[in-house]
Amino acid sequence: MTFRLTTVFLFLLLITACAVPNPPAVKQEGTASTDVQVKAQQAVIPTPVKRLKRKIAVGRFSNETIYGRSLLRDAHGDPLGKQALDILSSQLVATGRFLVFERPDLNKIEQEQVRAGGGNLVGVDALVLGSVTEFARSTSGQSGFLSSTKKQLARAKVDIRLADVHTGLLFFSTSGSGEATTESGEVAGFGSRAAYDATLNDKALNAAISETVNQLVTKLEERPWRTAILKTSGNTVFISGGSRQGLKIGDELALMVEGERVRSPQTGMVITLPGQEIGRIRVESFFGSDETNEGSVARIVQGSLGKTPAKQIFVVEPKS
């Protein structure tokens, strides 16, 4: 019996020693060349869309709830509205698509400029207005023989509107809601005991405003970008706006003559008829130190200004 087992063992060992190893993997080249593959990959990658930044102003953001109201605070001492204003401004700046100016109290700014001896406000494309329409805090919990829990909740709702600075017309409105919670508990005297958490106010407002930002960005970018002519000298045109708005040297822009303004007999509103393109300019350089005084130097490459006053001409992105 032992002899047979030894024979079988030696036979298996011999077979193992004579086993043929797996052949090395052969690298298979693709049927398409490397250049073709690279071009195919580049075709899949989306081409970045050129966007010129709109100039927007964040105006009044009021607190329409009774939260935070007291006899010791005047109309300007609104902490909840100021929190919402700061959060909205920060989120719009964080998108990187706008030049954002804060104008919570336009009258005060204009008064300070008069005292300082002048200085004009920067013209913007749209005004953002908002209000906190709902805000509430609640505390709930459970307690047992040896354990207890405490839950704090803050809930907020905001309404935000976009206004045309030229006509005052509200052309878009949206709302968002959000909430924030914190919970603590203890067992047999051990655990955490949470006091009043004031940060929940910020978190609830942040969540509510975040719900509206994407809609605001989409609606604001639907409005055409335009800027004004500062001065002309021969074929040289100085325009407002520069690299901080997304312009680059070599960009071509269209010169447009403002259309006639007529009053609609049906609505009584003044309607501007479509303008007419009279030429093209190419950006050659920039000047200015910040968003408030930057501009571009451009040269006319097509058409001419003729005898049209510069105040009647504006600059837009060309359609083609």
CATH number at residue 74: 3.40.50.10610
* Domain final position from 196, 222, 248: 222
For residues 94 and 185, membership in a common domain is answered with: yes
| 214 and 234 both lie in a single domain | no
pLDDT value for 93: 92
User: Both 162 and 61 in a single domain?
Assistant: yes
When divided into structural domains, the chain yields a total of 2
Domain membership flag for residue 147: yes
Whether residues 202 and 59 share a domain: the answer is yes
Average model confidence (pLDDT) for the chain?
78
Residue 183 placed within a domain: yes
Find out whether 150 and 141 touch, Cβ atoms under 8 Å.
yes
Rounded to an integer, what distance in angstroms lies between the CA atom of residue 309 and that of residue 109? 31
| Residues linked to residue 240 through DSSP beta bridges, in sequence order | 295
Q: Which domain holds residue 240?
A: 226-316
Does residue 148 sit in the same domain as residue 162?
yes
Stretch among 42-56, 86-100, 154-168, 247-261 having the lowest mean pLDDT: 42-56
Q: 113 with 214, same domain?
A: yes
The verdict on 123 and 181 lying in the same domain is yes
Mean pLDDT along residues 244-261 = 92
Read off the pLDDT of residues 48-60 as tens digits, 9 standing for 90 and up.
556 788 889 898 8
Specify if 10 maps to a domain: no
User: Per the domain annotation, does 200 fall within a domain?
Assistant: yes
Residue 278's pLDDT band, with cuts at 50, 70 and 90, is very high
Last residue of a domain, one of 222, 252, 273: 222
Within a domain: 88: yes
Q: Does position 256 have pLDDT exceeding 90, yes or no?
A: yes
**Domain shared by 262 and 190, yes or no:** no
**218 and 202 together in one domain:** yes
Residue pLDDT, tens place only, 42-86: 555 444 556 788 889 898 888 888 776 654 454 556 788 888 899
Give the CATH number, domain containing residue 307: 2.40.10.410
Tell me, yes or no, whether 107 and 210 share the same domain: yes
Long-range contacts: 242-246, Cβ < 8 Å, 24+? 242/286, 242/287, 242/288, 242/294, 242/295, 242/296, 243/286, 243/294, 244/53, 244/99, 244/290, 244/291, 244/294, 245/52, 245/53, 245/55, 245/99, 245/294, 246/50, 246/51, 246/52, 246/53
Confidence band for 296, pLDDT divided at 50, 70 and 90: very high
Domain boundary among 222, 246, 264: 222
282 and 205 assigned to the same domain? no
Q: What is the arithmetic mean of pLDDT over 224-232?
A: 90
Judgement on whether residues 121 and 240 belong to the same structural domain of the protein: no
pLDDT in the model for residue 308: 86
Q: Of 77 and 116, which is predicted with more confidence?
A: 77
Q: How far apart are CA 233 and CA 222, in angstroms?
A: 33
The secondary structure of 110-133 as a DSSP string is HHHHHHTT--PPPP-SEEEEEEEE
